[in-house]
Structure 1
Amino acid sequence: MANANPIRSDWTKEEIAEIYDLPLMELVYRAQTVHREHHDPLKVQKCTLLSIKTGGCPEDCGYCPQAARYNTGVESEKLLPLPTVVQKAREAKSNGSTRFCMGAAWREVKDGRQFDEVIEMVKAVRGEGLEVCCTLGMLSEEQAQRLKEAGLFAYNHNIDTSEEYYGEVIGTRQYQDRIRTLENVRSAGITMCTGGIVGMGETREDHIAFLQRLSFFDPHPESVPVNALVPVEGTPMGDRDLVDPLVLVRVIASARIIMPKSMVRMSAGRLTMTREAQMLCFMAGANSIFAGDQLLTTPNPGEETDEKLFEAVGVEAMSGTDVPSHRHTEVGA
């Protein structure tokens, strides 16, 4: 069965289009079949995302309320103190999360006191027995190596969308800047977390090109977050309609088929999704969610809501030993 679905990094757009355009029930069936070859279909990893430095970002990402140039009501805040971060990590672990991600609203990592403080946060959270992930903007090879030595397990840096549509979303950096940071992450031996956002006005062709670019990484990204746009008033995309959840299902299912071993994470946008839509995403191959009542600055279902969802669907949270990356990689090694 495994030979019927080899791990490939040479998918063509035509091949991905054939998968993406399948009748939805057939697509979900095929994705579920691949999912069961590589993952436990009844286990879902819970992750927690904390904004350690909120607002004031100089970038112009059209979806982001943390951009300083947009009037979204998000105030610029200083870097959180280390004890606060550790306490949040402990709370996340007690609520069943096995991955803790820290996000800072920076265009790029700059060497100095604040980066030194983040290094200490990574060490401390690693000491709590969690997968430690950071999303801090662009970073150099040397900075990635420092994070690795501190015990960082994963680095998130989304490519967001296709290269062709990228300029419609962001103008303050180039697509290749994103790729370069991801290459620096991989070179340092840190696992790669990269995905994108669905519902920004992109087309079917953009979804296919986005999936193809992710699949070109060899090995595939260990973690692929798929976000539904959360329109925020004051941003250029604040007036967008909510994406059709079935489009999200189609993207997740296609990602599962072409990147069989990756953790596919159902990320932002769950608050407006029905539990039936979320169940379809699980069936399509999503095996991770972000828990808690907030993702950086946008609302998210709380722990109690997710507990009820898991119970209704019949899935349970992964323990640390359940997570595939834990089985194959020593965290922080």
Structure 2
Amino acid sequence: MAEIRTDWTTDEISEIYHTPLMELIYRAASVHREHQETGEVQVCTLLSIKTGGCPEDCSYCPQSAHNNTEVEPGKMLDREVILSAAHKAKEAGSTRFCMGAAWRCARKTKDFERVLDMIREITDMDMEVCCTLGMLDDEQAAQLKEAGLYAYNHNLDSSEDFYNRIISTRKYQDRLDTLGRVRDNDISVCCGGIIGMGETDEDRIELIQNLATMPEHPESVPVNALIAVEGTPMEDQPKVPWQDMARMIATARITMPESMVRLSAGRVDMSMAEQAHCFMAGANSIFTGEKLLTTDNNELGKDMKMFDILGLTAREAFKDAKEEHLPETVEAAE
């Protein structure tokens, strides 16, 4: 069985990443079979609960107040709207419900208190709850854990050098500090990146190394392809080739065998055959639903047809969850 390592070198990961594609997918599929249930894919739903007006200047993001996009800033969605979306997601087969707010950092306001309430209510629906709310301090991380939050998403996006060229309103270390607070409070870590922003292969390799050499691998590693949105500095970036997604997913799978590797943004532009290669390469989670925050996503009906054709099955909530990550009201799925 593939060893779980946190001491991967740049040269080792580069050798994996540059392996001929079919050999790379075969190797990743072999590791995947050793550590995961083959054909089992977690279905997740992501809802933007507070959209637009973010003070960060991320070059890729349509929600940044610095970018001239069609995304209009709005207030946080009403409780009933959020809970209704969670119920619909569960009925459609999702076992993880993710809430995203366009904040630079979680703020000590009534809106944050409302998020805590939503976490409690959705956890009681026997769904994994994930949030992405920006940077956290120690108190906020502890409050999220107490409310029953299962996972927190905070992506590194790319290598540190490339990150600092596309974002000026925060530093890479700020991201790492928040991830440390999440881990210290026994919340499952969801952390990955975006490709297709103009980064080099070396930037992608460094991203994988930064994830795979954390003291504990992230339990969830989203691999996103840039959705080039008009009005952002990256509006003219070309579409990411499917083979680049498969290569990143395979490299993540080999270096982080027990992590959930998520085929995330950009899937809407991929054919069923292209997605199948990504599942072969080790992806075992997708987002379904009309939107991924503000960009289009795959239709549920088409996803269910794909599952049927490829022989994929939906993963149960909390399966193989570490005991310290479980909300007090939840028992792990067998």
TM-score, normalising length: structure 1: 0.96
Q: Indicate the SS of the match to 1:85.
A: helix
RMSD, matched Cα: 1.1
Instruction: Give how far 1:330 is off.
Output: 6.0
Q: Indicate the SS of the match to 1:52.
A: strand
Structure 1 residue 10 and structure 2 residue 7: aligned?
yes
Q: Indicate the SS of the match to 2:301.
A: helix
305-314 or 13-22, larger mean C-alpha shift: 305-314
1: CA distance between counterparts of 2:262 and 2:283? 6
Q: 1:260 aligns with which of 239, 257, 281?
A: 257
Q: 2:154 aligns with which of 154, 157, 166?
A: 157
Structure 1 residue 60 and structure 2 residue 57: aligned?
yes
Q: Is the 8 A contact 2:150 2:325 kept in 1?
A: no
The amino acid of 1:10's aligned partner reads: D
The amino acid of 1:248's aligned partner reads: M
Residue equivalent to 1:41: 38
Residue equivalent to 1:182: 179
The amino acid of 1:196's aligned partner reads: G
The amino acid of 1:331's aligned partner reads: L
Instruction: Give how far 1:113 is off.
Output: 1.0
Q: Indicate the SS of the match to 1:265.
A: strand
2: CA distance between counterparts of 1:325 and 1:199? 32
Q: 1:316 aligns with which of 307, 313, 318?
A: 313
Instruction: Give how far 1:324 is off.
Output: 2.9
Q: Indicate the SS of the match to 2:119.
A: helix
Instruction: Give how far 1:198 is off.
Output: 0.8
Instruction: Give how far 1:192 is off.
Output: 0.2
1: CA distance between counterparts of 2:166 and 2:124? 37
Q: Which residues in structure 2 correspond to 1:233-248 (within 5 Å)?
A: 233-248=230-245
The amino acid of 2:99's aligned partner reads: M
TM-superposition CA deviations, 1:140-196 (whole Å, max 9, x none): 111000000000000000000011211222111100000000000000110000000
Residue equivalent to 1:100: 97
1: CA distance between counterparts of 2:218 and 2:165? 24
Q: Is the 8 A contact 1:198 1:228 kept in 2?
A: yes
Q: Is the 8 A contact 1:131 1:331 kept in 2?
A: no
TM-superposition CA deviations, 1:51-86 (whole Å, max 9, x none): 000000001111110011211111111111112111
Q: After the TM superposition, list the runs of 4 or more consecutive aligned residues in structure 1 that deviate by more than 4 angstroms.
A: none
How many residues are matched? 328
Q: Is the 8 A contact 1:55 1:75 kept in 2?
A: yes
Instruction: Give how far 1:329 is off.
Output: 5.7
Q: Indicate the SS of the match to 1:324.
A: coil
Calculate percent identity across the aligned residue pairs: 55
Q: Is the 8 A contact 1:96 1:319 kept in 2?
A: no
Q: Is the 8 A contact 2:186 2:324 kept in 1?
A: no
Q: Is the 8 A contact 2:58 2:166 kept in 1?
A: yes
Residue equivalent to 2:137: 140
**Unaligned segments of structure 2, at least 5 residues:** 329-334
Q: Indicate the SS of the match to 2:146.
A: helix
TM-superposition CA deviations, 1:101-147 (whole Å, max 9, x none): 00000000111211111111111111111000000000011100000
Q: Is the 8 A contact 2:154 2:190 kept in 1?
A: yes
Q: 2:198 aligns with which of 197, 201, 204?
A: 201
Q: 2:282 aligns with which of 271, 277, 285?
A: 285
Q: Indicate the SS of the match to 1:312.
A: helix
Q: Indicate the SS of the match to 1:102.
A: strand
Q: Is the 8 A contact 2:252 2:261 kept in 1?
A: yes
1: CA distance between counterparts of 2:290 and 2:86? 15
Residue equivalent to 1:230: 227
**Unaligned segments of structure 1, at least 5 residues:** none
2: CA distance between counterparts of 1:324 and 1:267? 21
